[in-house]
Structure 1
Amino acid sequence: MMSVDALQVKAYAKINITLDVLHKRADGYHEVSMIMQAIDLHDTVSLKKQNGDITVEANIPALACDDSNLACRAARLVKENCHIAEGVHIVLDKQIPLAAGLAGGSSNAAAVLKGMNQLWQLGLSQAELEALGASLGSDIPFCLRGGTMLATGRGEILTPLPAMPCCYVVLAKPGICVSTARVYGRYRSAEQVVHPDTQGVIAGLERQDLPAVTQRLCNVLESVTVTEYPLIDELKQSMKRYGVMNSLMSGSGPTVFGLTPDLERANYVADRLGSQFKDKADIRVAKTLARVE
């Protein structure tokens, strides 16, 4: 394989088709069961070998570029575990909104793991990359694989599912910040009445039945986040009123997404949301991805 000194990796966002919290684990994490889906909204992560240590820069001034950044931590993990003497300069071209429930930070870390594996020709297997990723964050193994996956454990145990029928995703990220740890900490399973019909969603995926999948969108963490931030429910209801098949909050929030089979409807919904929630939410249109590069 020809040696390279620099490369770029696309870091794709995700949405949660379902998210169920089963119980609190002995290690302090929560046992979850969720169906995760990659979408084509992505950051671009550039890596270049350099003398010295790890440096990170980003196109968003508000984003920390020190060791608190998952991309930096991923690079340091590979450098130390694989005994790499050189440094690497990482440039993050961010398009995924920050703190959105779309795995932007995790996808950047996954891109760094893949990129460094290629740059230094380390020969790390997919399983080895996922193990490194899981030590940094529960969403990183999914971001390394992409597609449509059932994620269990604390989110790091992945089971491939039939690809989501191709559809368009209207995203609305309100201008609020949500702490994932706080949302999980405030979740009360005993008070949760509705849980995802995971097997029903999987059956719909097997039949490539988009209506069967969309009618079963369910995220138990809405019981916490929507209660605290009514704007999230306003966005959900508006999306439905403008014609998406169904709408849901992704992850611990605050981003809301709606699904529709055609681009024309997605653009119409996005335009209406943009007019209604001007200055209150960042509106995007994306598409589901059957597989990630």
Structure 2
Amino acid sequence: MHFETAPAKINLTLDTLFKREDGFHEVNMVMTTVDLNDQLSFCKRKDKKITIDSEHQYVPTDRRNLAYQAADLMMKTYNIKTGVNIIIDKRIPIAAGLAGGSADAAATFRGMNALYNLGIKTDELAELSAKLGSDIPFCVHGGTAIATGRGEKIEHLPKPPNAWVILAKPKINVSTKTIYQALKPGKNPSGSERMVGAIKDGDYPLIISLMKNDLQEVTCRKYPDVKKLIDSMAASGADCAMMSGSGPTVFGFVQKERQATHLYNAMKGCCDEVYKVRLLG
């Protein structure tokens, strides 16, 4: 048996540059991981089946699950002859803009590699994982990185300065596809390159000032509750308040634990799903 931790990710920047001929959007994103994790365990089967177990009622246990697809792709690519049972202890909210499904898939690529002693390098796993989704290559690596292309080209960055992160997810689910379809890319100037410099310099105030998400305006227009949550988080003392990914989860940064506790308690008055975590990065 082998165990893997699958951390959630947040976007510090998300710049959409233009729509590509393949239908995807060209993006520039700085992403980092936070200490909110799914836990996955992997066990070989004697037959060739892929089975997924999870106590979470909204986690699909068939081919719809990205972890299933990742296991299937690993078996076909590396000629693995026996099946695998995957148990997913789900802690990252679903359809939240935190890449929970992508994190599980990434953990599966790493987990299958370890379970079968394949010895495949992380870069090769990440390249393979791009066939399933744009966020998965980053999640295979973890840490902090700038992602370009459609999100699959990864350049590693140092860990940002220490901070507490408060995550708040309203009771709505957002379709990433729907948000991108309503987006007019290239409307705002890109800030990701400046963010890279701020992270390398460890400049917390500059990092805060450069946070930006081009999808936020579209999601807030369609879902006013997200805008209310951002405003509430800012009013409650967050150094920044921004949406992650395509939403609807909103996050805020603070540097001191007492500030984090205050912000956590304030947001608990706005919605049920609130988390106080640290940056991993």
Q: Which residue of structure 2 aligns with residue 3 of structure 1?
A: none
1:178-197 maps to which residues of 2 (within 5 A)?
Answer: 178-189=174-185, 192=187, 194-197=188-191
Greater CA drift, 236-245 or 88-97? 236-245
1:1-293 maps to which residues of 2 (within 5 A)?
Answer: 6-52=1-47, 53-189=49-185, 192=187, 194-275=188-269, 277=270, 280-290=271-281
The one-letter amino acid of 1:274's match is K
SS state at 1:178 partner: coil
The one-letter amino acid of 2:22's match is D
SS state at 2:210 partner: coil
CA-CA distance at 1:200 after TM superposition: 2.5
Equivalent pair of 2:15/2:191 in contact (CA under 8 Å): no
Q: Indicate the RMSD between aligned Cα atoms, in angstroms.
A: 1.1
CA-CA distance at 1:62 after TM superposition: 1.6
CA-CA distance at 1:7 after TM superposition: 1.2
The one-letter amino acid of 1:34's match is M
Equivalent pair of 1:196/1:216 in contact (CA under 8 Å): no
Looking at structure 1, the residues matched to 278 and 131 of structure 2 have their Cα atoms a distance apart, in angstroms, of: 29
Tell me the TM-score normalized by structure 1.
Answer: 0.93
Looking at structure 2, the residues matched to 59 and 287 of structure 1 have their Cα atoms a distance apart, in angstroms, of: 26
CA deviations on 1:234-272 (whole Å, 9 max, x unpaired) are 111111111110011000111000001122211111111
CA deviations on 1:179-200 (whole Å, 9 max, x unpaired) are 101110110136x3x4442232
CA deviations on 1:134-153 (whole Å, 9 max, x unpaired) are 11111111111111110000
Equivalent pair of 1:35/1:150 in contact (CA under 8 Å): yes
Give % identity: 41
Count of paired positions: 280
CA-CA distance at 1:203 after TM superposition: 2.2
CA deviations on 1:111-131 (whole Å, 9 max, x unpaired) are 111011011011111121011
SS state at 2:76 partner: helix
Distance 1:158 1:287, change over 3 A: same
CA-CA distance at 1:178 after TM superposition: 0.7
CA deviations on 1:71-105 (whole Å, 9 max, x unpaired) are 00000111111111111000000000000000100
Looking at structure 2, the residues matched to 42 and 186 of structure 1 have their Cα atoms a distance apart, in angstroms, of: 31
Equivalent pair of 2:19/2:185 in contact (CA under 8 Å): no
Equivalent pair of 1:45/1:91 in contact (CA under 8 Å): yes
CA-CA distance at 1:155 after TM superposition: 0.2
Looking at structure 2, the residues matched to 136 and 197 of structure 1 have their Cα atoms a distance apart, in angstroms, of: 27
Structure 2 portions without partners, runs of 5+: none
Distance 1:218 1:87, change over 3 A: same
Equivalent pair of 1:170/1:258 in contact (CA under 8 Å): yes
Equivalent pair of 2:126/2:136 in contact (CA under 8 Å): yes
Tell me the TM-score normalized by structure 2.
Answer: 0.97
Looking at structure 1, the residues matched to 133 and 262 of structure 2 have their Cα atoms a distance apart, in angstroms, of: 36
CA-CA distance at 1:106 after TM superposition: 0.4
Equivalent pair of 2:34/2:280 in contact (CA under 8 Å): yes
Structure 1 portions without partners, runs of 5+: 1-5
Equivalent pair of 1:196/1:217 in contact (CA under 8 Å): no
